[in-house]
Amino acid sequence: MKNRRGKPVSKKNSKKQLDSSNQTAASVPAETKVEAPSPMTSLKDSQPSEQDNYMEIVKIDPYLKPYNGYFLNRYSKFQDWLKIIGSEGGIDSFSKGYNKFGFTISDNDITYREWAPSAVEASLVGDFNNWSLESNKMTKDKYGVWSVVVPHLLVKGVKVPAIPHGSKIKISMISQNGERIYRIPAWSKYVVQDLSVSPLYDAIFYNPGPELLYKPINKRFSPPQDLRIYEAHVGISTTEMRVGTYNEFTRDVLPRIKDLGYNAIQLMAVMEHAYYASFGYQVTSFFAPSSRCGTPEDLKRLIDVAHGMGISVFLDVVHSHASPNIEDGINNFDGSDNCYFHSGPRGHHDLWNSRLFNYDSFEVVRFLLSNLRYWIEEFGFDGFRFDGVTSMIYNHHGIGTGFSGHYDEYFSGTTDESALVYLMLANYMTHTLYPGFVTIAEDVSGMPALCRPVAEGGVGFDYRLAMSIPDMWIKYLKELSDDDWNMGHIEFQLVNRRHTEKSITYCESHDQALVGDKTLAFWLMDKEMYTNMSDLTPLTPIIDRGMALHKMIRLLTFGLGGEGYLTFEGNEFGHPEWLDFPRDGNNSSFQYARRQFNLIDDELLRYKYLYRFDKAIASLEEQYKWLTSKDQYTSLKNEGDKVVVFERGNLLWAFNFHPTNSYTDYRIGCPKSGIYKQVLNSDDPYFLGHGRVDPNSEYFTVNEEWNNRPNYIQIYLPSRTAIVYSIAK
């Protein structure tokens, strides 16, 4: 059965826990105590004795001291895994399972290996042997691995591959209950769908000749520290009502991303998924790039061209669950309920209708770690965004659970230690073998130490998504009038992140673009976006307000919210429509499964102003690097004036959210004396502003304390305007 995975449960819950994903250590009471140990192998006592060593993360965050025993035992289990993996040559060798499993090709033959421990008989079948069950029977070793060697053919004295490139193939098995079953090889590198024959996917033997292989010409590089991420989905990246291709994305979208100033792309829905409307979150073939968008070579070219533009490429990794599909997935692969997944209820995610991996299994861990290595080695990805981490790391999967930030919620029996240790292995492997590699966790719970190195006792991610921030903005736009916006609360939500753990901030991602939700632009202007977005029409109050707040919200979030920034494609210019994939509920329509980039190319439309402003923000960050700045200070949160002022990256930022009041000679504190000039102004006519501030004005400091700063300047700050200043002298 093929169902769309809805929005992650953890994201739905996040509306009720706006603060939890950015918890600071100081927000946890000092009297925090452990009530129960976590269910770990060899866990003896969650309270360490005085002579026990403290993990580094406990030294960083003293509130974790009562849980030191938990971290010691978790780290011990991680070390146990490294010892087990060492029996196969270490994590480097172990994580290259794709060189052993699936199809390997030598000069003389083709070997096929597959782990299917519950099967009692197996055969390799396909076009090459007329689907004969007898021609290529497989043998099973003591570990449950089946294998067969198929010698190459000799045609006119020349060796020809026994299985031609492009042949359809399957493994046929007899299950323990005597049933004959057919499965797509779990390590398939290319699978295709021919709807004229069947809705099911077919595995294709992928062995193109040298002339068809794409050879990268650009060197890989470590992603920059100041990540500006453009989240994208290749299939929707065309203006036409169809599935876009890797080659079209390379030709049409990469130049736009480069022009905007983003330095990283996060590609969604790359791992093959039989159900397009799942947004790529119901993976059926983990090693195969989606054939809807082209061949594996096309994807390699996309990534290589991005590298040539100085853009890193991240993969949206789905190791939190898998599609329940059987015939074209890995569910019930060998006829059993527990080949790759937990058996029984533990192996099923009820709300997502998907299967949950057994992270205690040696071969499952090999499969998943090898999957990560494959995408790096074969395609050149520079980072991973791990989807559904909250679901992975808690036994309750975040279902019906809120997170207040109390540490007992994380370390007292609710966590899935096997999943956490797998993530530690994944992060350890990627960072050890590929220095500079980036990993991002989609976690709404705010688990402490998730984004600290494994050696310190953390889980090893580089960043977590600041998932409470978009929910905050939606809440404000949906429930509050402009006069009721709370400057202190907004500022707190943006800066409330764990010390020493980095966050990727965003106003909206793909979640807010999906049908059933609304983008910022839609919340602000949906009543008039189809009628009044032309420069030939009057600038109505709704459009004027919407454009102004869209710019201010994005600038404030980008400037204050984290150590990296993300946008979903189209949102940077206020895409006028939601995202809805073809499905039964919309008569399989592609009407909303596309991005109308043509709107920003039309000089008569107002979308170009938002595009320009987004580009200007990225350009300013590239110049001043505030995302990596260690200094950040908010000097003013005035509720009556609706003004926020802060410092970051040697810049001075002033925001006036008041709907009507403009302020003349408004004093704002500043750290350094000298002459300040504006470097970005949302009220600039180039961004559809009203041009109320002279761009050439200079502001001389007064050496007098103001708002706890040693100096101040006096500025004109119009209503619904944000201005960024730098010191000129």
Enter the tokens of residue 436: 């500079």
User: What stretches in the chain show pLDDT beneath 50?
Assistant: 1-51
3-class SS string, 95-110 = CCHHHCCEEEECCCEE
3-class SS string, 168-227 = EEEEEEECCCCCEEEECCCCCCCEEECCCCCCCEEEECCCCCHHHCCCCCCCCCCCCCCE
DSSP state of 500: T
Q: Which helix (H) or strand (E) holds 725?
A: strand 721-727
Q: Given this model, what pLDDT does residue 515 score? A: 75
Enter the tokens of residue 563: 């150590």
Q: Given this model, what pLDDT does residue 243 score? A: 96
- Count CB neighbours of 25 within 10 A: 17
Establish if 714 belongs to a structural domain.
yes
Q: Which helix (H) or strand (E) holds 492?
A: helix 487-495
Establish if 525 belongs to a structural domain.
no
Query: Structural domain of residue 205, as residue ranges?
Result: 95-212
Q: What's the CA gap between 407 and 446, in Å, rounded?
A: 10
Is 416 catalytic? The answer is no
Domain-ending residue, one of 182, 197, 212? 212
Q: Given this model, what pLDDT does residue 40 score? A: 31
Cα 668 off chain centre by: 37
Specify the number of domains making up the chain.
Answer: 2
Partner residues linked to 125 by β-bridges: 170
Provide the pairing of β-strand 463-465 with 438-441: parallel
Establish if 52 belongs to a structural domain.
no
pLDDT per residue over 284-298, tens digit each? Answer: 999 999 999 999 999
The single residue of 226, 231, 416, 442 carrying the catalytic annotation is 442
Write the CATH number for 667.
2.60.40.1180
Establish if 361 belongs to a structural domain.
no
Q: Given this model, what pLDDT does residue 412 score? A: 81
Is 387 catalytic? The answer is yes
Write the CATH number for 192.
2.60.40.10
Helix axes 417-433, 362-379, angle to 10 degrees: 30
Q: What's the CA gap between 382 and 665, in Å, rounded?
A: 48
Q: Given this model, what pLDDT does residue 32 score? A: 28
What are the CA-CA distances from residue 591 to residues 29, 65, 429, 583 (Å)?
51, 54, 42, 11
Q: Given this model, what pLDDT does residue 405 score? A: 85
Q: Given this model, what pLDDT does residue 513 score? A: 81
Establish if 514 belongs to a structural domain.
no
Q: Given this model, what pLDDT does residue 729 score? A: 66
DSSP string of 50-108, one letter each residue: TTSPPPHHHHH-GGGGGGHHHHHHHHHHHHHHHHHHHTTT-HHHHT-GGGTSEEEE-SS
Q: Given this model, what pLDDT does residue 361 score? A: 97
Q: Given this model, what pLDDT does residue 156 score? A: 86
The single residue of 19, 226, 387, 577 carrying the catalytic annotation is 387
Q: Given this model, what pLDDT does residue 34 score? A: 28
Q: pTM for the full model?
A: 0.92
Establish if 162 belongs to a structural domain.
yes
Domain-ending residue, one of 196, 212, 228? 212
Domain-ending residue, one of 181, 197, 212? 212
Q: What's the CA gap between 466 and 495, in Å, rounded?
A: 10
Establish if 158 belongs to a structural domain.
yes
Establish if 672 belongs to a structural domain.
yes
Q: What's the CA gap between 28 and 709, in Å, rounded?
A: 30
